[in-house]
Chain A
Amino acid sequence: MTLTFRPAAVLLSLCLTALAVTACGGGPEAGAGGSADTGTCDPADITLVGQVRNESNPYEASWLDGGDTFAASVGLQQQRLTYDGESTKQQEQIRQLLASGRTECMVLNVLPNGDSDTTPIVRAADAAGAYLVTQWNKPAQLQPRDYDRWISHITYDGVESGEQIAGSLFEAMGGSGGVIALQGVLDTAAAKDRFAGLEKALAANPGITLLDQQSANFSRAEALTVTETLLTKHGDQVTGIWAANDDMALGALQALEQAGRAGQVAVVGIDAVPDALTAIGESRMTATVSSDGPWQGGIGLAIGYCVATGELDMADVAAEQRAFYAEQFLITKDNVSEFQDPGTDPADFECANVFNRTAGPLA
């Protein structure tokens, strides 16, 4: 008995020793949420971190590239982090990063996996004193103004974009017909807001009926199968497909092509990924809404950098700039050429201009 137990005993004692040794090493060194809103960091001491789900989707990859562009413009490097769409992994990464000690001059530009992930990220960053900008997802009641280091939350007005593309869709359909809707990951504000926009548009267009709505989890492959099945179910009644992002819209386009109905059904999406812009240029797709990945990747770091170096005084940041909708544009065949070459404008990242694209405070 005693012998078989030995490895276990060794492990236990190792664990306990590790806990004890590290526990005796002094108090917490992470200054908990000081009152210093504006930083005084030497630009060279600043660490820039960009975190998105993965590098295997074009939109998020372009986001990190935008961050790199900004970092290079101030002579720094961006640490690129990805978490494979795993909430737990995202939080672990953030906590691990904040435990490295160099937090006072750290700037984080984070895309939270879901609304629920924003709370722990914000609390951890605030406690460690790192500057944080979040984008897209946050619970409604959680406000940056209640925190010292959470500078800003940037998002696009999902209701508006959902409504805008629905408008184009209905126009392309000639004001009447049947629509199927492909929803995003149901557990995200983006998916819900965009769908709310569609519902708003539907209410204003009695000639259009919503035949069906299914979630395809923002995924191209899932959208393909769901669309195929829904096309069978509703047959020729379907004259329009509303997708909550471009990836799903592209999946739906494939399904239409495979069903031999390409060109007969109007398709819209959101995000303005390159493939979608090409499709719009070729009139295969009707409309999308721009969400500017490279700009998002740069602007979060820029805002944080400006505040951390003191170039931007937190006192000058208005309440409505701490949680705002960024400008977005409806892209159709008419204006698609203006968006085909994505890139960043260095002027956008000047400390005086960082809030230039504000379209309005978060509702």
Chain B
Amino acid sequence: MSAHPRAAVRPAPPVLEVRGLVKAYPGVRALDGVDLQVRRNEVLGLAGENGAGKSTLLKALVGLVRPDAGEIRVRGERVRLRSVQDAADHGIGMVFQEQSLVGNLTAAENIVLGSEGPGVRHGFYRWATMRRLAQEQLDKIGSTIDPLARTDSLTFAERQMVEIAKVLRIEQRTHDTPVVILDEPTSVLEPGEIETLFEQVRRLREFASVVFVSHRLDEVLDVCDRVYVLRGGRAVGEIRPAEAEPGRLHRMMIGSTAAEDHYHGGAATPVPPTREPLLTVRGLTGTTFRDVDLDVRAGEIVAVVGVHGSGREELCRALFGAVATSAGEVLLDGRKLALTGPRAACAAGVGYVPAERKIEGMVGPMSVADNMTLAKQGVRCAGPVVVPRRQAAVVDRWISRLSIRTPGRRTAIGRLSGGNQQKVVLARWLVGGDVRLLLLDHPTRGLDVGARSEVYRLMRELAGNGVATLLLADSLEEAIGMADRVVVMSDGRVTTEVPCPAGGKPSPLDLVKEMV
């Protein structure tokens, strides 16, 4: 690690200070006396596993959670934050992880939403003023988005810019350095977009303090001036990236000596290239991808990488029958796979873990048990009749096998943590014992390090059992670390294929060159 250029900036007096913050939920002490300081014009990193208290802390900072004890000081003054509005009045704003923009409004309206000021007079909108207000904000971050564009017509990255522009509106209220909290801003961005975001963050530092939250250590170290590590509801350490090395940070986060490179958890046995492919895709064409040829052998993990718009998500969904294709064919074990819908794919032994877990992956209010047996109803039935005992046995077996932490199998899945939810969604395809091809679309999105490792171990174990896996990874490192082969897609076509044998992994940079 080379010395970070911005580490030299002279420490400014804290603009935001947290002392001994405590928040307890029944059975969980989410915040257990957190202390931290945010200085003027610095980028402060917050790292920690899910469950370390990050999200509770952030919610307390923007008034969504009221702490049981401790205090929050803004510019030395003790404050009580009761709402997002309250926090904004004190110059604290947050860019939420699930984007908080209204799709059917214009970018300008979203930017000024809730604080229209001169944009509204006597209840009437003054569009010219609104536009000007929004343009000012967008100019600050150097964005060229049309303020009157409908928000849902923008790309994800553009929407994130809109959101940052929106948060910066709090400057209008305080006329002082605002604190901008970015909660996991990179989790769904592509590599190119992440770089743009980092530039924005550096630009923001010129006139704001930034709290940057991420579970990706490399990012935190790359962009932050200082990093706090949270564990078990406490700040367990403060690090300057200049002095940090990822291994130490990682150990601080999980509180134990984990393998430095968690991708290489299991000993992957190389799949002989001579083995007949289990999945054969020939000339598959859909709305956003063309002429795709692809092979995946049993026991092989193939990662598909590509920038936003490469068509890889659609390809993945098409293989599951969830989006329509116009040409080409797909063979599974030599037999033609009917791409008529998810049902046909399920029956053929294909499983799919969607990226949008909360919307598409799980049925939130339904129990863990029912979510787990949703796709393979046969495991809980005798003939056409459900046998509760059978379901209980199967579900309990998988709960313990995947060490899913849940109060019980009848608990609503929505109440579990993200990692445990994802394990249930994965288990859905495993309970039948007949899955042969797994399509994993960002299976570790939003998961913390511990949960990720478990998912990785599970993927390896499955591969070892002969399951073919197509992986759309969360990061290039993940793709390279997990896959036996990486397929690069660009503009809807497969452009190249890079073998990734254990011991001979390519570097992320090699792949980026192929992607753009």
Contacts and interface: CB of A to CB of B under 8 A. Distances in A.
A3 B409 CA distance: 13
Contact-size category for A: under 10
A8 interface: no
A2 B391 CA distance: 13
Nearest to B388: A1
Contacts of A2: 388
B410 interface: yes
Contacts of B391: 1
Interface residues of B, number: 4
Interface string A177-194: 000000000000000000
Contacts of A3: 410
Nearest to A4: B410
Interface in A1-56: 1-3
A3 B388 CA distance: 11
Interface in B384-442: 386, 388, 391, 410
Interface in B320-375: none
B388 to A, nearest CB: 3
Nearest to A3: B410
Q: Chain A's interface: helix, strand, loop or mixed, by majority?
A: loop
Q: Pick from B386, B388, B391 the residue with the most CB of A within 10 Å.
A: B388
A2 B386 CA distance: 12
Contacts of B386: 1
A174 to B, nearest CB: 61
Contacts of B410: 3
B147 to A, nearest CB: 47
A141 B410 CA distance: 62
Nearest to B386: A1
Contacts of A1: 386, 388, 391
B220 to A, nearest CB: 45
Nearest to B387: A1
A298 to B, nearest CB: 58
Contacts of B388: 1-2
Interface string B53-90: 00000000000000000000000000000000000000
Nearest to A5: B388
A1 to B, nearest CB: 3
Interface in A75-132: none
Nearest to B389: A1
Nearest to B392: A1
A12 B408 CA distance: 28
A1 B391 CA distance: 10
Nearest to A2: B388
B64 to A, nearest CB: 32
Nearest to B367: A4
A271 to B, nearest CB: 50
Interface in B374-388: 386, 388
A327 to B, nearest CB: 65
A3 B411 CA distance: 12
Interface string B210-249: 0000000000000000000000000000000000000000
A155 B68 CA distance: 78
A61 B449 CA distance: 76
B473 to A, nearest CB: 39
A1 B369 CA distance: 10
A196 to B, nearest CB: 58
Nearest to B410: A3
A1 B386 CA distance: 10
A2 B410 CA distance: 11
B413 to A, nearest CB: 15
Nearest to B380: A1
A1 B410 CA distance: 9
A170 B388 CA distance: 79
A2 to B, nearest CB: 7
B69 to A, nearest CB: 38
A2 B388 CA distance: 8
B468 to A, nearest CB: 35
A4 to B, nearest CB: 8
A3 B408 CA distance: 13
A135 B410 CA distance: 61
Interface string A316-342: 000000000000000000000000000
B407 to A, nearest CB: 14
A249 to B, nearest CB: 47
B467 to A, nearest CB: 31
B409 to A, nearest CB: 11
A299 to B, nearest CB: 61
A1 B393 CA distance: 13
A292 B391 CA distance: 72
Nearest to A1: B388
A9 to B, nearest CB: 14
A83 to B, nearest CB: 41
A3 B367 CA distance: 13
A205 B388 CA distance: 80
B478 to A, nearest CB: 39
A247 B158 CA distance: 63
Interface in B239-297: none
A7 to B, nearest CB: 15
A3 B410 CA distance: 10
A180 to B, nearest CB: 48
Interface of A: 1-3
5 contacts: A1-B386, A1-B388, A1-B391, A2-B388, A3-B410
Interface of B: 386, 388, 391, 410
Q: What 5 A-B pairs have minimum CB-CB distances, sorted nearest first?
A: A1-B388, A2-B388, A3-B410, A1-B386, A1-B391
